[in-house]
Chains A and B, each alone.
Chain A
Amino acid sequence: MTEPVRRPGRRRAWVGLAPLALVALVAAASALPQLPFLALGGGPASVAGDDLHVAIGGLPDQPLVLVDMDPDLGTYPEIRYATRAALADLFAVGARVAMVSFSPEGRAIAIAEIARLRDAGAGSDRLVDLGFRSGSEAALVQLAGQPIDRDVNGQASPILDALHARGAGLGGFDLALVIGGGEMSPRTWIEQVEPRVPGLAVAAVTPTFLLPEMQPYRDAGQLVALAGTLPEGVAYGTSVAAGGTTSGLGRVPERPPSDAAILVGMLVALGVLIESGAGSLLSGRRGPRGHRS
């Protein structure tokens, strides 16, 4: 009796094609319409996502809002939908926005977002660019103790005039919205700014990896609102898109991430983990030969 011939070359070719097949599968899934049994922003996520909508909706008329744009280039795709929804939400309630960055990556993203908002019609009376401030935490401490009366080009601005009329620097803002990342997270704001400017309300949009760090601050009320996971961001963005305008600055400019594509990616990861674990267990039962590597 002859044993079946193994063809390692063919197996290797299949393994090599697997990543391409995964990309094709995720691309195909992202093109699918909304599936009824999937709910990326449903359940408890929608409650958490509503916090930010309520916090922004509760701001006074024509509020002054400081947006700290400091996400990472790597994790920004995860929070881009929630970030753009938050900016649309702010403009929909008539906010006058000042944008600042403390990290180089955050500044690069801020420049792109400012250009997008200017194209959408944000004039100097609605949006002012405070630029990049080097020095990370020290720069944030410096900003908390200084008057803010000039934009990135050293020019005056109607928004900064309004801030100046309130007689305060950072404390003159009605809300600080921190779009966080690894280098500058809302934790820095709470540690460095809240003791110096106690009246300033801080809200945040962060990628999921920061959630264990952020959750205690949300629970303690030091963050008035937090969209800290992809489902919360999607729930928040969907809520803003449903109640917002269909054009101009109050429009959410993109559709939410595809839950079908995310489900496919997660199922593939689970499949690989289970297959690897089962294969390892079986080879362990076969004895020492199975452990060759």
Chain B
Amino acid sequence: MRRSVNAATVAAVGIIILADLIVANPALGSVAGFLTGLVVFLAAAAAIAGSLSLVVRHGSRFAHGIDRVGSLAVLVGMALVLLPGLAPGSSGADAPAVRWVVAALLAPLVAAIFALLFPLLLAAARRGLRLRGRETALMLTGAAAVLVLLLPIGGEPGVWLASVAGWVQAVPVAAVFRGLLLGVAAIGAVTAARILLGADGIDD
């Protein structure tokens, strides 16, 4: 019963917002606007609830002595970002202290983690070749081909590489990507139809 109410609510909201997109009607527009505002409010509430849940969970782990260092790192990290912005007299997200935390801590940390992907992927490729040689070799041949095609070389060889790269992107990569998108859309439509027709609970 609860599943049907949820499904009916989602379907009704979706249909109203879709109808607002198709039909120009002020009353329908105001209902759709109200529902969109509600979704925005729910998203903000979910973000705050998620943060509070994280604080409670790691506070409890710290108090009970479970992975104290990890939990302390999470709590201190959250405090470092939140306190300068929420402190009395602070101008919020654009306060100098918050800007410093973002520029001097967050951005370099995220960029460093992202940069680590390069050596980690290479190390993973080496391990993958030892564990699943054939499949990994196929994947790495593709990666090596892409690297060669994107080499920043000038002159005639550079133009030739760029034109081959353009063909690879426009034909095989685009075909696979569109196939994936069509597949995802078809599965989404089927799942939505199952929910609307009440067939979703049969497998449960």
- Docked-complex contact A135 and B125, CB < 8 angstroms: no
Q: With A19-B119, A269-B118 as known contacts, state yes or no: A108 contacts B102, CB within 8 Å.
A: yes
Q: With A73-B107, A145-B29, A215-B174 as known contacts, state yes or no: A266 contacts B151, CB within 8 Å.
A: yes
**In angstroms, how far is the closest chain B Cβ from the Cβ of A110?**
9
**In angstroms, how far is the closest chain B Cβ from the Cβ of A95?**
22
Residue among B21, B40, B131, B163 with the most chain A CB within 10 A? B40
When distances are taken between beta carbons in the complex, the residues of chain B under 8 Å from A77 are 111
Q: Give Cα A115 to B162, complex, Å.
A: 38
- Docked-complex contact B154 and A37, CB < 8 angstroms: yes
A280 interface residue, CB < 8 Å from B? yes
Chain B interface residues toward A at CB < 8 A = 17, 21, 29, 32-33, 36-37, 39-41, 43-44, 47, 93-94, 98-99, 102-103, 106-107, 110-111, 113-114, 118-119, 122, 125-127, 129-131, 133, 137, 140-141, 143-144, 147-148, 150-155, 158-159, 162-163, 166, 169-170, 173-174, 177-178
Q: With A42-B158, A265-B118, A266-B150 as known contacts, state yes or no: A280 contacts B44, CB within 8 Å.
A: no
Given A134-B47, A135-B39, A269-B147, 19 additional A-B pairs, CB 8 A? A19-B119, A39-B158, A42-B154, A42-B159, A43-B159, A44-B162, A73-B107, A74-B113, A77-B111, A111-B93, A112-B99, A133-B40, A134-B40, A134-B43, A135-B41, A138-B36, A196-B21, A263-B153, A276-B129
Q: With A135-B43, A212-B169, A265-B118 as known contacts, state yes or no: A38 contacts B129, CB within 8 Å.
A: no
Chain A, Cβ-Cβ closest to B159: A43
Q: Give Cα A284 to B134, complex, Å.
A: 11
**In angstroms, how far is the closest chain A Cβ from the Cβ of B10?**
14
When distances are taken between beta carbons in the complex, the residues of chain B under 8 Å from A68 are none
Q: Give Cα A196 to B130, complex, Å.
A: 53
Chain A, Cβ-Cβ closest to B91: A153
A24 interface residue, CB < 8 Å from B? no
Q: Give Cα A45 to B173, complex, Å.
A: 18
Q: Name B's interface SS.
A: helix
Chain A, Cβ-Cβ closest to B101: A108
**In angstroms, how far is the closest chain B Cβ from the Cβ of A255?**
15
Q: With A43-B162, A273-B144 as known contacts, state yes or no: A38 contacts B154, CB within 8 Å.
A: yes
Q: With A39-B154, A112-B103, A272-B122 as known contacts, state yes or no: A141 contacts B170, CB within 8 Å.
A: no
Contact of A74 among B37, B111, B122, B155 (CB under 8 A): B111
Contact of B131 among A36, A44, A114, A293 (CB under 8 A): A293
When distances are taken between beta carbons in the complex, the residues of chain B under 8 Å from A157 are none
6 A-B residue pairs with CB within 8 Å: A42-B158, A43-B154, A74-B114, A108-B107, A146-B33, A262-B152
When distances are taken between beta carbons in the complex, the residues of chain B under 8 Å from A43 are 154, 158-159, 162
Per-residue 0/1 for A233-267: is the Cβ within 8 Å of any B Cβ (1 yes, 0 no)? 00000000000000000000000000100110110
**In angstroms, how far is the closest chain B Cβ from the Cβ of A139?**
5
When distances are taken between beta carbons in the complex, the residues of chain B under 8 Å from A75 are 114
Q: Give Cα A145 to B39, complex, Å.
A: 15
When distances are taken between beta carbons in the complex, the residues of chain B under 8 Å from A211 are 169
- Docked-complex contact B126 and A142, CB < 8 angstroms: no
* 10 closest A-B pairs by CB: A39-B154, A135-B40, A74-B114, A73-B110, A138-B39, A280-B129, A135-B43, A40-B152, A43-B162, A108-B102
Per-residue 0/1 for A71-98: is the Cβ within 8 Å of any B Cβ (1 yes, 0 no)? 0111111000000000000000000000
Contact of B144 among A74, A213, A274 (CB under 8 A): A274
Q: With A136-B43, A145-B29, A277-B140 as known contacts, state yes or no: A213 contacts B177, CB within 8 Å.
A: yes
Q: Give Cα A213 to B136, complex, Å.
A: 25
A11 interface residue, CB < 8 Å from B? no
Q: Give Cα A279 to B137, complex, Å.
A: 11
When distances are taken between beta carbons in the complex, the residues of chain B under 8 Å from A293 are 127, 130-131
- Docked-complex contact B40 and A139, CB < 8 angstroms: yes
When distances are taken between beta carbons in the complex, the residues of chain A under 8 Å from B33 are 142, 145-146
- Docked-complex contact A212 and B113, CB < 8 angstroms: no
Chain B, Cβ-Cβ closest to A290: B130
When distances are taken between beta carbons in the complex, the residues of chain A under 8 Å from B129 are 276-277, 279-280
Q: With A134-B40, A276-B129 as known contacts, state yes or no: A39 contacts B152, CB within 8 Å.
A: yes
**In angstroms, how far is the closest chain B Cβ from the Cβ of A211?**
7
In A111-147, the 8 Å CB interface with B consists of 111-112, 114-115, 129, 132-136, 138-139, 141-142, 145-146
